[in-house]
Amino acid sequence: MGGELPGSGWPAGPTVDTIGRVTRRLRGRREPPARRCALRLSRSDRRAQLLAAALVAFARDGIAATTMDSIAATAGVSKPLVYQYFANKRAALLAVVEQHCTALVAALGPTPPSGGVGGLRRQFGVYLDFARRHPVAFQLLFRSVDGTDGPASDRINATRRAVGTACALAAVGAVDGAPAWVGDALCALVEGVGLRLDAQADPDDLAHHLSRFVRLDQLRPRSEGAVARSGRAAAPADRGGR
């Protein structure tokens, strides 16, 4: 064929000349201003993009192996741009942790004390729904980050305390006077379930069964009179055993 190199299938002759001229014209053309502007993000949107990329990088590569280069590559931006938002990898990790811890505590909300199964079920449901909707972030927060991660670890432990307080308030109707371990135990219980949550699981159904599993009567602080009566009831048995 006159327009192809023999046996190659590649264009030749006038066709090549035409493509060359078109290529040279396109190479010198500038991108339309509207298209260039569409690639720019506001500072808040860019930070959100980098936080999402950092979450992916930490979850994919592990905290120790993640670098500012890998965060930049995941986001599809230059490393200097990442440094405009985070001083180093630890700062990026803390920002990711802060973002999701804040969202979790806000989801639990300032729930008024209820002191019953219904209130505890509600808090468990909200917590497990967060774990189901944000599985990558949840696993990073409560499985990957450990005590060596400094401020990020401190922020997660503070979140655990806030979750425990919210659950205790919902369960027993008051935090003051309740055993100190109540909040810790409730948080550990629901966190363990969240870490093993299946993508198809129903958070409300799990929360229902989980809240029924908890013996609320054993968690509520008892009055001095109740403690005294309990002691008197146990005394005969103690004497009989001696």
**Residues 50-102: tens digit of each pLDDT:** 999 999 999 999 999 999 999 999 999 999 999 999 999 999 999 999 999 99
Query: Which backbone phi and psi does 202 adopt, to 5 degrees?
Result: -100, 110
Please, what is the average pLDDT of the chain?
79
From the options 1.10.10, 1.10.287, 2.60.40, 1.10.357, give the CATH code of 89-221.
Answer: 1.10.357
0.85 surpassed by pTM: no
Instruction: Report pLDDT for 22.
Output: 38
CB within 8 Å of 71: residues ≥ 6 apart: 50, 53, 54, 57, 82, 89, 92
Q: Contact at 8 Å (CB) between 49 and 131?
A: no
**228-232 own/partner pairs: CB under 8 Å, 24+ apart:** none
Task: Provide mean pLDDT across the span 101-124.
Answer: 84
Lowest mean pLDDT among 6-20, 127-141, 144-158, 165-179: 6-20
Q: pLDDT band at 136, cuts 50/70/90?
A: very high
* Spatial CA neighbour of 127 closest among 166, 93, 88: 166
Q: Cα(130)–Cα(227) distance, rounded to whole angstroms?
A: 39
Task: Provide mean pLDDT across the span 4-17.
Answer: 43
Query: Could you tell me the residue ranges of all domains in the chain?
Result: 89-221
Q: Which two tokens stand for residue 212?
A: 């029924």
Q: pLDDT band at 174, cuts 50/70/90?
A: low
Instruction: Report pLDDT for 14.
Output: 46
Greater pLDDT, 230 or 98: 98
